Structure 1
Amino acid sequence: MAGSVISLVIGRTVDLLHKKSVFLKDVGRQVERLGNDLEWMRCFLEDAEQRQDENARIRNWVSEIRAAAYDAEDIIEIFASKIESIKDKGFVTRLACYPRRIVSLDKIGKEIESLQTRLNDIAASREKYGIKNLGEGMSAHGEELQRIRRSSPFSEDKDIVGFEELTKSLVAELLKEDKNRRVVSIVGMGGAGKTTLAKKVYNHADVRARFNCRAWVCLSLSYDHKEMLRSIIKQLNTVDNKLLEMLEKMEEQDLERRLYQDLQDKCYLLVLDDVWKEEAWDCLARAFPDVNTSSRLLLTSRNRGVPLHADALSKPHVLKTLGQEDSWQLFLRKALGHGDDAGCPSDMEEVGREIAKRCDGLPLAITVMGGLLLTKKKLKSEWEKVLNNFSTYLSRSQRGVSATLELSYADLPPNLKLCFLYLGLFPEDSEISVRKLIHMWVAEGIMQKRDAENLEETAAYDVEQLFSRNMVQVVEMTTDERIKSCRVHDLLRELAIRKANDEKIFHTDEIRDDEISAKSRYLAVHILPWDKNYVGCSIPPVRSLLFFNIHGYRENISLSFKSFRKLRILDLEKVMMAYLPKEIGEIRLLRYLGLRRTWITRLPHSVGCLRYLQTLDIRTNSVYFPVIVSNFIWKLESLRHLYARDVRSNVPLKIEGLRNLRTLSGIHFDDIMHNNMITLMSLQKLGIWVDDRSEIDKLCMHLSEVGSLKALGLYRNPGRGWPQSLAGLSKLHHLTELKLSGVSLRTLPPDFPPNLSRLSLKFTRLKDDPMPTLEKLGQLSFLKMECAYEGKQLFISRHGFHQLKFLELSRLYDLDEINVEKGALPRLRCLRIRKCLSLEKLPEELDPELVDKA
């Protein structure tokens, strides 16, 4: 992990020292010294980060600090958790535990003393490694990365594939009859071909004819503002010694004034290639006159926010990675050098296609690998050698694929670096749930320092930032345009793994205890060897343990929890486990426990000892069997999210007093009614099982004063009918989202929550057309109906659904006609139709572009 990330960890540890000072007062002097030493170390990390890529000793120094900071955090939290558990007991018990407290204090004192010795040794080695201080300029490695990225409009690449339509679109936008100065932009991940495309457009005959005043400048990640201004002025004027001398003497404001004068009254085209930050645009834009001359700026960036900042009215042209066939054609041109007539020898095609596939549609990677193969003999064995050592060849390339992607990583702020590295734990090409990712980031403590009240919102913003910077790709968006799931480009994933491995963040495809570094903190199990079914004999102090794609393993997985006492995250999704050992309660620092799609049907009482637990996901494979828990949920004072399909207890389940709880699903009506719900001050989402005996009016009155509640799901208990009345829903004024799910609701409730904006009906099998009732919900923007209606026709009048933006009709098997009056659904953005097998046509009143039919 890079030095700036470790700086974040150190800051978090120092904050923890202050936060837990009440428990550490008896070892206060040692704790204060530890905090001071860690802060002192942080002062030298920026210089170390800039130089660790070129010096293995410096990289090791950074790694030692990281390990010390993590160990300090572990020691403090483990000790504090022990003291907190004693503090909650009765007086007699506390008195009996007093000797244990003394022993614990003595132990932590010795551990801090040992850490202090380590830090002293690390500090002593600083000068030996040549680490000086902050602000001493960019390292030679950093300067080399910048040099690689410099561009010019000349030496245009003739072997371009897949850019034809984008080129036409960009040229057309540059030539639009608009007197105002406009910004046309190209955005995409590093190596996607933004500069190549910009060159093609810049040199297009129609563009050259339109703009006789043109200039090209490459800003890159670190740039000199005065030098950029000088560069543009030189391209617009005849260069002689007099001009050069004058430009060298000019101050920044004088240069801006000179450039403004040069461009005044001109129809100019300026290309600003590789703009990273909004500030870079702001500095230069002052010198670009907007005087009704139809001037244009063509801007390329990896950050989607930059072009929108430059011109909010101009939609960026997103440069996506190449498809499989375009990738193959580009590969052939670069690897065989035959231009359009390139053809691959039949015995080498399979290997060649696999190399192209490994490039994952990134033009720069294809170009580099193709150029490498062009210099080698046209033999299958040579191509196989390159394929088998793909990552090594790519990282060694002089054209800098790794370097290009590394610049994107270098530009991330510390918290986003840590978020990005965490993505390297997930398998190649996996679809990553953003909700799950957010819960893990929160559990890891990445968000803690910035906004303790809105951790999930902060994490969701960070996902958006990674997307904006083209570090992740969107797989699925929600209807309100939030990222629901994402993936990481293969080469960016390799970058994350490489950076993480540099700092001993362990990532593996096959667990072997003897290969795991003693400093490893993150462990992803992708494959378990068939000769053993356990993990955890010589495991280091791991913070995150994640399992992927081992659901086919035939036996129960056995975990030695004694090896995992410092775990914050344990994700066992899809692992073949039928029970959870009671030793789970010994992992006192655990914040995330994922048991989704396991076969566990009962939680041991010891789970109640996990007082730091934030997320508990028990949506197991046992669909027809509830998960049985004893009455311990109320003890989980840090719990923020409890996900369950059906959770039950032998006694009414106590949940009141959980002030941090935001999500609660799979709980039964009777359990809700036995609790004072007002004490759940943060509760936003609630899913409840009801049956024919459930009194919905009383339930809604019970929930009406829970002001934070925004989303409610009512699920019919299998084998029982719906309650006779749902009229009480109108009392829930705070509610904006409602889901009704269960067989044979038959008729809609007479009233709905007055501020409802999202409604989902599932398995309700309504007999009458629901649209006349639903279209009167004035704020409804989202409506989903799945197996919800058994009629043949739906009628939507022009008087209703004034705010509806998204409508999904799924598995309405008898529906054969939708009637829509003219003027209805004025704000509709998407109509999604799934498995409505009898529906043969759509009404003419609907815009075909809005329809997503499958």
Structure 2
Amino acid sequence: MEIVVGALSGMVDALPGKLGALLEQEYALLSGVREDVRFLQTELGSMRAAIRHCESLDHHDAQTTGWVGKVREVAYDIEDWVDLFAVRVDGGAQPATGFRAWMRRGWDKLAALPDRHTIANELQGLKERVLEISEQRKRYRLGPMVSTPAPPPLDPRLSALFVDPDSLIGFDERVVDVSNLVMDGGSSTELKIVSIVGMAGSGKTTLANAVYHRLQAQGHFQCSAFVSVGPKLDMVSKTVRDLLLRFGDYHGGGQDINQLIPRVRDILAKNRYLIVVDDLWSSEQWGTIRCCFPENNLGSRIITTSRNDTLPTDSYPCLNKVVHKISLLNDTDAKKLFMKKAFSNGNSCPQHLEDAFTKVMRRCGGLPLATITVAAKLAHKYSTDEWEKLGLNLLCSSHSDGSEGLKQILNLSFNDLQPHLRTCLLYLSIFPENSEVSTERLVRRWIAEGFVAEGRSISTEEIALGYLNELIGRNLVQPLDLDHEGVPTSCRVHPVIHDFIVCKSMEENFATLMDAQHVPINDNTIRRLSLKNSSKQDQPAGQNESMDLSHARSITIFGQASAAPPLTNLKVVRVLDLEGCDGPVSLEGLCKLVLLRYLSLKGTAVSELPAAIGDLKCLETLDVRSTKVEELPSSIVNLEKLMHLLTGSAKLPDGIAKMKALQILSCAGTTKSSGNIIEEMSKHDNLRELDLYSDATETPGNNKRVMFPAHGFPSVRKLCIRCSSPLVTFEPNALPTVKMLELRFQKGLADGSSGVPGMENLKNLKHVLLEFEQHDAGAMATVDAVKNAAQGVLPDHQHITIKVDGKSY
């Protein structure tokens, strides 16, 4: 039985530190509470070791799986208890000094005494649960004392080595192309390395094997071998022994790898060799294996395959290295392959199955292994119900249907991730299949959920982007729409990967995924709710009385906002995301969500925020762009932890500069009292991005301009200005760190002037985007002026993007 740990070890890793930080605070803990916290800290450290051991095993029994599930649930509840502690004791207020502050703290302690007794009782209950779980581990010999597991099943990747070349559809041209890439005309005598990279099941091994046999048959090489590695580090010694075995120079024995590598080098030193190292997983593996291959200037070639784009041979002292990214099958080849496997002699799909066939092909997404697996499941089946049931449930089927090999291969990629990356990958199961998820939305939600570690010299958001890039590099997430720095503005997961992480998410009780017509029937505690409803007639199942959302950490609604649960039931929610929901939005009870860190109402019909929104002391992101909100309540300025304030064209209250944590601001150019946002925020030290909706317009006798003062906005790296006309000026030394400038206007100035003086003062500018909705003389004059100014700062013109009325210039 497969163990389900995934994100758990990352959470249990962090909890002892959280409890330790709680002990260091100057809170007046009731008698016995401090000792109970220390007990939990120690016991969770022991559980962490047991979970690590469980993760290292390939197969487990039902008792161990159940024990891990109990640890997961109590770990969630302990973290909730810790996060709620400060809020319930002193409202999350910052420490104050002085006699009056001391008196105030004393009064607050007395007032909070009932809460403190409740806290102590809850902690005692958690302690009893932890004791029970610990005793269960000892009673059933779980965790570190698990007996030796049964032998693992056969590796499904082996079948890729014995594929009939005639059955390869869509691979013929690839084999020729990669063969030519490897040989490079055959004239080069330098050692060359070609790395084939791509997602699991894309055919890397099949392609490498076909290329290997093609080149071997051509007789170019005196010595050749095809060896596989695998995800475990101890497989390296076996790989080196396999090389010697292929060369006929290994006869058993327990020789150390340090003795084996010189023997391989001696054999290869005087021969032109072709070596395929299949299924590399880590730089540590490659760092050892590469020692086997001497540079002998005889035109030798090495082919490697890996699921990790960032791994290939970077550390090898060879100048001639090429990475070949294997693509998925196009629609034509995918259909041919499916037809060949599903229907005898490749007959066409029966007419009554065409709709189901289209859905199945969309789900396979051009992934060869998925296409072959599903086609084999559906071979000789002609019932629409069977196609819907088997073809659209690739990995979550409860019975044996031929998908085990595909799931096992994906499990290898999942298990190779570090715990925090498993958590971040599972989080994408919350979004519907084929969703394009905004990078900013995703990483800010990761941060709000506590998945991202804090860094010393790097922001949490940059660390989160690093997590995303690693998942992309491992071909588990697909990047979309790269910006000028190569950072994806959005991403998605392949349908097969999505199906896989949905299964994992359900197994781990990581998220509850449902549509509005189906309420979960299991007894699992709901930790994260993702609710899809597609029509106005959908039943608002989120309000069903049978759903207990008191432990829910995130609520995400897709479709009708009416399906959102009552906010008064959400005691520990950190993320509330209604982005893009239709219909009226109820915010009753919002200001009681004391742990809320991420709130997105973007694209909804909400027209007003509660006056007491400033009570959400933990809030880090507030997004009300593209809503009917025109002004924000004055209490917004009390949100001391708010980093991302995204209001679009809504006006802010006075005093916004007091919000020292602000890093990204999107707002109107004036406050509710007609104050100038630029003047108020120009000295803000932490602001990194500013998206300004200016009301500056060209009218007779009106010379009002958007003026950026000298030495203003010292930390802003990205500036976006949205204005009806290009009435913008940059004074000398303004925006000293800005790298990205976006200017979005409706039309040009009537007098034909450029309207953007001072761009030459932006000395650190790296990229300029200029966009006009209308094509007129004033717009074209501005285009010419901006081009000239930008070219003076940006000699590389490829970083200047200009669009007028939808056309690029």
CA apart distance, 1:357:
2.8
* Alpha-carbon distance in 1 for matches of 2:143, 2:455: 30
Distance 1:709 1:123, change over 3 A: closer
Report what 2:22 is aligned to. Answer: 20
CA apart distance, 1:723:
5.4
* Alpha-carbon distance in 2 for matches of 1:731, 1:96: 46
Report what 2:748 is aligned to. Answer: 765
For residues 620-659 of structure 1, the aligned pairs below 5 Å read 620-622=626-628, 626-629=630-633, 631-648=634-651, 652-659=653-660
For residues 651-690 of structure 1, the aligned pairs below 5 Å read 652-670=653-671
Letter in 2 for 1:743: S
**Range that drifts further, 13-22 or 713-722:** 713-722
| Conserved? CA contact 1:516–1:540, under 8 Å | no
Distance 1:335 1:559, change over 3 A: closer
Report what 1:851 is aligned to. Answer: none
For residues 369-408 of structure 1, the aligned pairs below 5 Å read 369-374=374-379, 376=380, 383=387, 386-387=390-391, 390-391=394-395, 392=397, 396-397=401-402, 400-408=405-413
* Alpha-carbon distance in 1 for matches of 2:123, 2:53: 27
* Alpha-carbon distance in 2 for matches of 1:423, 1:306: 24
User: In structure 1, the residue corresponding to 2:469 is in which secondary structure?
Assistant: helix
CA apart distance, 1:642:
0.9
CA apart distance, 1:144:
2.6
Letter in 2 for 1:85: G
Distance 1:671 1:706, change over 3 A: farther
Letter in 1 for 2:74: A
* Alpha-carbon distance in 1 for matches of 2:92, 2:741: 47
CA apart distance, 1:368:
1.6
Report what 2:799 is aligned to. Answer: 806
Instruction: Return 5+ residue gaps in structure 1 as ranges.
Output: 675-687, 690-695, 814-833, 840-854
| Conserved? CA contact 1:757–1:780, under 8 Å | yes
| Conserved? CA contact 1:368–1:399, under 8 Å | no
Letter in 2 for 1:7: S
**Range that drifts further, 122-131 or 525-534:** 525-534
Report what 1:783 is aligned to. Answer: 768
* Alpha-carbon distance in 2 for matches of 1:672, 1:224: 69
Report what 1:546 is aligned to. Answer: 555
**Range that drifts further, 493-502 or 190-199:** 493-502
* Alpha-carbon distance in 2 for matches of 1:410, 1:423: 17
Of 200, 211, 214 in structure 1, the residue corresponding to residue 221 of structure 2 is 211
* Alpha-carbon distance in 2 for matches of 1:584, 1:269: 65
User: In structure 2, the residue corresponding to 1:316 is in which secondary structure?
Assistant: strand
CA apart distance, 1:117:
1.2
> Can you list the C-alpha shifts for 1:166-206, whole angstroms capped at 9, x where unaligned?
32321112112332212101111111111111111111157
| Conserved? CA contact 1:477–1:483, under 8 Å | yes
* Alpha-carbon distance in 2 for matches of 1:130, 1:750: 72
Report what 2:694 is aligned to. Answer: 716
For residues 97-136 of structure 1, the aligned pairs below 5 Å read 97-133=108-144
* Alpha-carbon distance in 1 for matches of 2:416, 2:673: 48
| Conserved? CA contact 1:276–1:302, under 8 Å | yes
User: In structure 2, the residue corresponding to 1:645 is in which secondary structure?
Assistant: coil
User: In structure 2, the residue corresponding to 1:762 is in which secondary structure?
Assistant: strand
> Can you list the C-alpha shifts for 1:508-563, whole angstroms capped at 9, x where unaligned?
23245563644221110112773447536332434433334314x6xx45642232
| Conserved? CA contact 1:201–1:207, under 8 Å | no
Letter in 1 for 2:807: K
TM-score scaled by length of structure 1: 0.83
Distance 1:809 1:516, change over 3 A: farther
CA apart distance, 1:93:
6.2
> Can you list the C-alpha shifts for 1:407-436, whole angstroms capped at 9, x where unaligned?
110100000010011111110111011110
> Do structure 1's residue 233 and structure 2's residue 244 form an aligned pair?
yes
CA apart distance, 1:607:
1.8
Distance 1:799 1:445, change over 3 A: closer
CA apart distance, 1:618:
1.4
Instruction: Note the aligned Cα RMSD (angstroms).
Output: 3.4
**Range that drifts further, 394-403 or 169-178:** 394-403
Instruction: Return 5+ residue gaps in structure 2 as ranges.
Output: none
Report what 1:314 is aligned to. Answer: 321
For residues 244-643 of structure 1, the aligned pairs below 5 Å read 244-245=251-252, 248-307=253-312, 309-310=314-315, 314-338=321-345, 342-374=347-379, 376=380, 383=387, 386-387=390-391, 390-391=394-395, 392=397, 396-397=401-402, 400-448=405-453, 454-511=459-516, 512-513=518-519, 515=521, 517-527=523-533, 530-532=538-540, 535=543, 537=545, 538-551=547-560, 556=562, 559-576=565-582, 578=584, 580-622=586-628, 626-629=630-633, 631-643=634-646
CA apart distance, 1:750:
7.1
Distance 1:343 1:530, change over 3 A: closer
| Conserved? CA contact 2:558–2:578, under 8 Å | no
* Alpha-carbon distance in 2 for matches of 1:402, 1:300: 20
Letter in 2 for 1:111: E
**Range that drifts further, 171-180 or 458-467:** 171-180
Distance 1:483 1:140, change over 3 A: farther
| Conserved? CA contact 2:448–2:597, under 8 Å | yes
Report what 1:847 is aligned to. Answer: none
> Do structure 1's residue 158 and structure 2's residue 166 form an aligned pair?
yes
* Alpha-carbon distance in 2 for matches of 1:4, 1:712: 38
User: In structure 2, the residue corresponding to 1:626 is in which secondary structure?
Assistant: coil
Of 36, 58, 77 in structure 1, the residue corresponding to residue 64 of structure 2 is 58
Letter in 2 for 1:523: L
Distance 1:609 1:670, change over 3 A: closer
* Alpha-carbon distance in 2 for matches of 1:454, 1:405: 32
| Conserved? CA contact 1:536–1:561, under 8 Å | no
**Range that drifts further, 400-409 or 305-314:** 305-314
* Alpha-carbon distance in 2 for matches of 1:452, 1:535: 44
* Alpha-carbon distance in 1 for matches of 2:582, 2:352: 43
Letter in 1 for 2:607: T
* Alpha-carbon distance in 2 for matches of 1:66, 1:250: 43
Letter in 1 for 2:555: L
CA apart distance, 1:595:
1.0
CA apart distance, 1:225:
2.0
* Alpha-carbon distance in 2 for matches of 1:454, 1:734: 14
Report what 1:49 is aligned to. Answer: 55
Report what 1:835 is aligned to. Answer: 807
For residues 181-200 of structure 1, the aligned pairs below 5 Å read 181-200=191-210
| Conserved? CA contact 2:553–2:574, under 8 Å | yes
Letter in 2 for 1:782: H
Letter in 1 for 2:245: K
CA apart distance, 1:123:
1.4
> Can you list the C-alpha shifts for 1:319-360, whole angstroms capped at 9, x where unaligned?
22222222111101112352xx64444444444443333222
* Alpha-carbon distance in 2 for matches of 1:379, 1:361: 23
Of 5, 10, 13 in structure 2, the residue corresponding to residue 11 of structure 1 is 13
CA apart distance, 1:671:
7.5
| Conserved? CA contact 1:151–1:273, under 8 Å | no
> Can you list the C-alpha shifts for 1:58-115, whole angstroms capped at 9, x where unaligned?
2221111111111111122212112232866976765554444222222111111111
TM-score scaled by length of structure 2: 0.87
CA apart distance, 1:48:
2.8
* Alpha-carbon distance in 1 for matches of 2:665, 2:108: 35
